[in-house]
Amino acid sequence: MRNQKPAKLFNIKAVDRVIQAGHKTLVMGIVNATPDSFSRDGCFKNKNDVSVVVRRALHQVKCGADIIDIGGESSRPGSLRLSEKEEMARVIPAITLLAKKIEVPISVDTYKTKVAQVALDAGAVIVNNIQGTCLNKSLIKMITRYKAAIVLMHMQGTPRTMQKNVSYRGDVVEQIIKELVKAKVECLNMGMLPEQIILDPGIGFGKTVEHNLEILARLNEFSKLKCPVLVGTSCKNFIGQILDKNVEERLNGTLATVCVSIMNGAHIVRVHDVKENKEAAAVVDEIVKLRK
């Protein structure tokens, strides 16, 4: 790690905003507008829970979140696809209210074109697409028209199947990089600007414990993609397997992975516990600045 350079600086274009990445690590706060999140922090049990979602997001902002990521469909292993109608009922009212209350950029965690478009109309400026390497052309074209930013995440399979018989041909990091490069090129060919694209190797999405650890150890190799890199390790199962801890006891493990991610070039970390991760990131950022 000693000879690695600090993360490259990027200006992410997201509708009418420019989000600077690389000057410091950006902390993306997770807001699960779901009843069945793997992290058990889902804050949508019924149609009257919009205020709970909003309060959760406002708390994340108070704790220092640089971006708020709101999702209405669980992507935990084994989860099923949600209808557009139900997903929008969970996220759109909350995004509409939050856009009037906060200056922090809002991201919508979805891969569905209609949900993303209505969310952008409501005030979101980023689409966090977990199916980023299986491109939905209508989604990409719509995001391009809106000049929004997109997170292209790598996932093998679907949430329902991704952890069954996980395997890669050859080097897992090289394979992920290859698929992300292909997705990026396809987006550019459809008119998207390079400044709109954020890439995510997809920790925990169709990967074994060993795959996840190798990605984190070699994260600096993703710098060749010339895009901001987002990493989401928060409370995930591989941490639980290493520590033999349930999801409520994985904060320390999460902090360790976040620190390693930043040291190895991550620009954005997506987390549940914003305050603790924000403080850890601030310390690591100061260390990274000293690299020659």
- Domain segments of the chain as ranges: 10-289
- pLDDT band for position 157 (50/70/90)? low
pLDDT over threshold 50, residue 2: no
| Residue 150: per-residue pLDDT | 98
Alpha-carbon distances, residue 32 vs 68, 82, 144 (angstroms)? 10, 14, 26
Average pLDDT, the chain: 90
Could you give the angle at the alpha carbon of 127 between the alpha carbons of 91 and 278, nearest 5°?
85
| Residue 79: per-residue pLDDT | 55
pLDDT over threshold 80, residue 78: no
Residue with more model confidence, 186 or 38: 186
- pLDDT band for position 6 (50/70/90)? low
- pLDDT band for position 49 (50/70/90)? confident
| Residue 45: per-residue pLDDT | 52
236 is catalytic: yes
Question: pLDDT tens digits, residue range 160-182?
Answer: 554 666 778 889 999 999 999 99
Candidates 3.40.47.10, 3.40.50.720, 3.20.20.20, 3.30.70.3420; correct CATH number of 10-289? 3.20.20.20
The residue from 90, 112, 270, 278 that is catalytic is 270
Could you give the angle at the alpha carbon of 223 between the alpha carbons of 157 and 232, nearest 5°?
45
Burial track 206-233 (b if 16+ CB lie within 10 A, e otherwise)? bbbeebbbebbebbbbbeebebbbbbbb
270 is catalytic: yes
| Residue 7: per-residue pLDDT | 66
Handedness of CA 199, 160, 168, 247 (dihedral sign): positive
- Measure the CA–CA gap between 272 and 83, rounded to whole angstroms: 25
Q: What percent of the chain has pLDDT over 70?
A: 87
Q: What percent of the chain has pLDDT over 90?
A: 77
Residues in the chain, overall count: 292
- Measure the CA–CA gap between 99 and 124, rounded to whole angstroms: 7
The residue from 13, 24, 90, 236 that is catalytic is 236
